Amino acid sequence: MARELELKYGCNPNQKPSRIFMKEGELPIQVLNGRPGYINFLDAFNSWQLVKELKAATGLPAAASFKHVSPAGAAVGLPMDETLKKIYFVEDLELSPLACAYARARGADRMSSYGDFIALSDECDVQTARLIAREVSDGVIAPGYSHEALTILKEKRKGTYTVVQMSERYVPAPIEQKDVYGITFEQGRNELVIHGGMLQEMPTVNQTIPEEAKRDLLIALITLKYTQSNSVCYAKGGQVIGVGAGQQSRIHCTRLAGSKADIWYLRQNPKVLNLPFRPDIRRPDRDNTIDVYISDDFMDVLGDDVWSNYFTEKPEALTREEKRAWLDTLTGVSLGSDAFFPFGDNIERASRSGVQYIAQPGGSIRDDHVIATCNKYHIAMAFTGIRLFHH
């Protein structure tokens, strides 16, 4: 391992020179293939911390899909039913627990995951490598790679795909620094360990959170720890289903994450599952077309002169009424927030996307209004007492 690594450029091509380096000791990574850039490593190191903590909290292999220093998705390696396999386009693959974790992480928001950086908590096996090989992605970080998995990944993108190996023994310094406008900022690292004990203070009438929902709340909170603030995260079934990141207003986070959760669930509607796609349509084009189909202006965008480019026959539209009726069947969703909810409107919006369990710091002068709104919808809410801002 080396002490420093020269990069192609910084955030933009005009920002040269660019490098990563250690002030003391050697870098805890090895680049096994490709030539990673500045943003690649920002994604890699943030996502690695996320999956490492997810595995520690759940005991399951974990994966994350990162874009521009925030997760598009994160998940643990639970089995998937046939519907999830279909909407994630993995019906034809043999899936290990780690491959399931990445398929779930990628499937949370496939449009945002296009060109992602991947983090894996465990050694990359051949099943996961085969899944990665057929998706549009910039790179992957993992603690190791099987020989066959590494061979597959080295062939991706005509041999230029970035493959990074991370040392599991690495322990970062307790104090971290960064420069902004030539001025150095310094703070203690956020070493907070997120665990189930943080979900015990419950001010709502409903104080029942099932074990699966507790797991999902931990997944949401750990994901928020590495998401650009403000941020809100919806989770269900061992995976993130919607992230709202980097918004100035908390309600905008809640709406953005909620709309992504809605799209995730609408993709499971029978009309969407049975869309008559042409066999030659690429997966990214199919993803985009599904999102257009789900939108309210589908018939305007995909008129008579366009639909035949994607479908073997013109599909029947999914009406607003049908979408609302389908979304009303979504239940058991967990929601985490990186800071307190200042108004009950966040709860109103969350309830429309099946949220029944919430974890947030609490401490707002309007906590009573937020609690009352939770009680209105019989939502169980925990006050964690912890803020998870990340910048």
At 25, phi and psi to the nearest 5? 80, -165
Q: Give the end-to-end CA distance of the chain in Å, rounded to a whole number.
A: 29
Q: Is 206 a catalytic residue?
A: no
Q: Is 369 a catalytic residue?
A: no
Active site residue: 40, 46, 230, 269, which one? Answer: 230
Active site residue: 40, 55, 67, 225, which one? Answer: 67
- β-strand partners of 233: 243, 336
Q: Is 195 a catalytic residue?
A: no
R_g of the chain computed on alpha carbons: 21
Q: Is 40 a catalytic residue?
A: no
Active site residue: 23, 147, 158, 391, which one? Answer: 391
Q: Is 191 left (phi over 0), alpha (psi -120 to 50) or beta?
A: alpha
CA distance 360 to 336: 6
Rounded to whole angstroms, what are the CA distances from 150 to 31, 63, 106, 155?
12, 17, 20, 9
Q: Are the CB atoms for 47 and 66 separated by under 8 Å? A: yes
Placement of tokens 């521009």 in the chain: 68
Placement of tokens 């250690």 in the chain: 22
Q: Annotated catalytic sites, by residue?
A: 67-68, 230, 391
